[in-house]
Amino acid sequence: MARIYKRFSSHPTPNARKLDLEKPTVRDSIELNGNGRPLGLWNPVSFHPPPPEPFPNWNIHTTLPLPYRPFRHGPYHITMGLRTMKWDEWIELDNHYLKFHADKARRIKERGSKCCKTAPEAFDGAVELLQELCIYLPQRYPSLYHKTPDGMDNLVTGETFNISERPLVEDPMQMAARMVQDDLAIMFEKPDGQYYLLAGSILLAGFWRLEDKWRMPLSEIHTTGDVPGFKQKLEKGMMNFFRRVQPNGPVLRNNYFIQVDDNLAWSDSIGPEDDDNIGWNTAAKNKAIENHWFRSERQSLRRLPRSGGVVFTIRTYFHPIIEIAQQPYVPARLASAIRSWGDDVARYKGRERYQDVLLEFLDARHQEQLRAGLDVSKEDDDRSYPY
């Protein structure tokens, strides 16, 4: 059987449209294992995720954010931290949806292509993502989205998403951004074996800008961001994962940061968003505990079956430290995690700017919980990672 491949280069190939990659291509099941696939080429496969169950009793006003607390007692280990994703859980929406939606709309109006863009050679992959969202969201959140022949309608905001018309009314990643609370990015493999950021809507990232990472390969994205231990502990495993991940093998990971301002979209404590020199060195030191926020990302990664792009969904959960410190076990566990960071991780996460005030507060809250009768020996019975 002849194989049909899509090759990614710096520009779309002349015959890319002939492949009609916006229509499903039926392939045999062998293609799912990826054996023998040349670098920079993807053989479209016919894979359809199982339909998700409707989210039980989901309500745009009352469904609370999931309580991700993805930190452990020390010592701290640098790992990718991947775990299997259930298809029902691809996109998480909750009663922060309207705030996120409004923040994104404002950011799109103010910053436009600085935050949302699609390279020409990635257009088919971005449209594939739109198609996946227009299938998944009405099934998972039927009180919010309704499927239509050309896309879907938002039953709350009144928006209509037509993903069939050409040209689209806006950049496909910008349209996708309006559908979910997540930031979105799609990486595509080129003949050098590296995965490049060629499509993204990065509107609420807090600490990084799409324009800084645009068209960069995965390794350079991490090295220019000074990600601790990337070369020594992460790069090889990450590249192997991207090479091997298949459409039927989605995964999740979580991370967390401390932020010393309450701006979800951009942490202005590290400097103005359009400055060339941003970093923790600009942040005020040891601000009052009321200015300390817990920022956690829940990321999903999945391979799109037709285009071969690897999609990141990056959902941010953003809560005052004072709020999460009321939960049993959290103050002691978070304090232990922060103290266990190595010097490189501590620099990356800006610990020197907030550790005195934050750790004193967390220690005091832990003592209060102990005096109230908290039995720390039951922590592993009462919770499990990443909650």
pLDDT digits (tens, 9 = 90+) for 74-128: 999 999 999 999 999 999 999 999 999 999 999 999 999 999 999 999 999 999 9
- C-alpha distances out from residue 53 to 2, 50, 97, 280, 330, Å: 37, 9, 20, 43, 31
Q: What is the mean pLDDT of residues 138-144?
A: 98
pLDDT digits (tens, 9 = 90+) for 162-173: 999 999 999 999
Strands (E) located in 66-194: 83-84, 116-118, 145-148, 151-154, 160-162, 183-189
Q: What is the mean pLDDT of residues 46-59?
A: 97
Residue from 107, 129, 110 nearest 118 by CA: 129
Rounded to the nearest integer, the mean pLDDT of the chain is 91
For the cut 70, the answer to whether the pLDDT of residue 23 exceeds it is no
| Predicted pLDDT of residue 225 | 87
Separation between Cα atoms, residue 279 and residue 180, nearest integer Å: 28
Which of 4-8, 30-34, 42-46 has the lowest average pLDDT?
30-34
For the cut 70, the answer to whether the pLDDT of residue 230 exceeds it is yes
% of the chain residues with pLDDT over 70: 91
Q: What is the mean pLDDT of residues 262-285?
A: 94
Q: What is the mean pLDDT of residues 212-216?
A: 97
- Report long-range pairs for 219-226 (Cβ below 8 Å, ≥24 apart): 219/194, 221/197, 226/347, 226/348
Q: pLDDT-based confidence at 197, cuts 50/70/90? A: very high
Residue from 66, 31, 63, 68 nearest 47 by CA: 31
> pTM for this structure?
0.90
Instruction: Assess contact for 255 and 70: CB atoms under 8 A.
Output: yes
**Helix ranges, 181-303 (H):** 210-213, 218-224, 235-244
| Predicted pLDDT of residue 1 | 37
| Predicted pLDDT of residue 6 | 56
